[in-house]
Structure 1
Amino acid sequence: MAGVLIRNHEGHLLHAKAFNLGHSSVLIAEATALQQGIKLALHSGLRNIIIEGDNLLVINAFNNICSTQWKIANIIADCKLMLTHFASYQIRHVFREANRAADLIANVGHLVVSS
């Protein structure tokens, strides 16, 4: 399960989407949520984005702070490629408590039959 929220600069919700990833690891789910969020922002025509994620391993792998595990290497590479289409972006870690809405969306992902 993965969840994505897109908000505007005032914090108002623009999009929310849940994904049922079947049986996958937390690492793959978090990296996939990053990938799907970037895709959704790109398709929404956004030009400047700030990405907040609560999985420090995924954020650090993206920012080249640690080596990327092979399981998510292609997902991270795809994210980096998609981000070249934005005028600007930031990606940063937030604690799960600050990311409750996305966590809630992810938790209802099991209700999604197909995405």
Structure 2
Amino acid sequence: MAYAEYFGECLNNMSEAKAILFGIEWCLDKGFTNILVESDSMLIINMINGKAKTPWQIKHIIEDIHSLKVQGTFSFQHCYREVNMIADYLANMGVYTMQRSFFTKFLSLPMRVKKTYEERNRRAPNLSD
């Protein structure tokens, strides 16, 4: 599953945290309990992992993420922006369209996302998706 969503006007840390929370909720709702969360926001990953102080503005979102962790096995890790180009494209799509878009099949993804995915896997087929 991939999605794009508009979270309104907010700081990037707020949108990163909201996106992670939404993704976790979606996975749990669909019965997935072994979840790897990758984000190019090292700060948010460090907040979730307890290695950075969480500002009050997003504390409730980080707490919601922690409360969901009891429902499965979770791993939160940082990935570099170069590996996360698809997520960046979808985030921008959400901002520009100001709506939520779901993609549950590869064929339904925007052409640019499919091309980026195929190019990345052609160059480095051992990278996790």
Q: Does the alignment pair 1:99 with 2:77?
A: no
Establish whether residue 78 from structure 1 lines up as the match of residue 59 from structure 2. Answer: no
Match of 1:89 in 2: 74
Q: CA RMSD in A?
A: 1.3
**1:4-25 Cα distance to aligned partner (Å, 9 max, x none):** xxxxxxxxxxx11111111111
Displacement of 1:101 in angstroms is 1.1
Unaligned runs of 5+ in 1: 1-14
Deviation digits for residues 7-66 of structure 1 (CA, Å, limit 9, x no counterpart): xxxxxxxx1111111111111011111111111111111020111011111111111111
Count of residue pairs brought into register by the alignment: 100
Q: Could you tell me which amino acid in structure 2 is paired with residue 78 of structure 1?
A: D
Query: 2:42–2:78: 8 Å Cα contact kept in structure 1?
Result: yes
TM-score by length of 1: 0.81
Identity of aligned residues (%): 34
Structure 2 counterpart SS, 1:68: coil
TM-score w.r.t. length of structure 2: 0.73
Aligned to 1:45: 31
Q: 1:42 & 1:19 partners in 2: Cα distance?
A: 19
- Of Structure 1 and Structure 2, which has the larger fraction of its residues in strand? 1
- The structure whose Rg is larger is 2
Runs of at least 4 residues off by over 6 Å? none
**What are the ranges of 5 or more consecutive residues in structure 2 without an aligned counterpart?**
102-129
Report the CA distance between 1:84 and its aligned residue.
1.0
Q: Which has the higher helix share?
A: 2
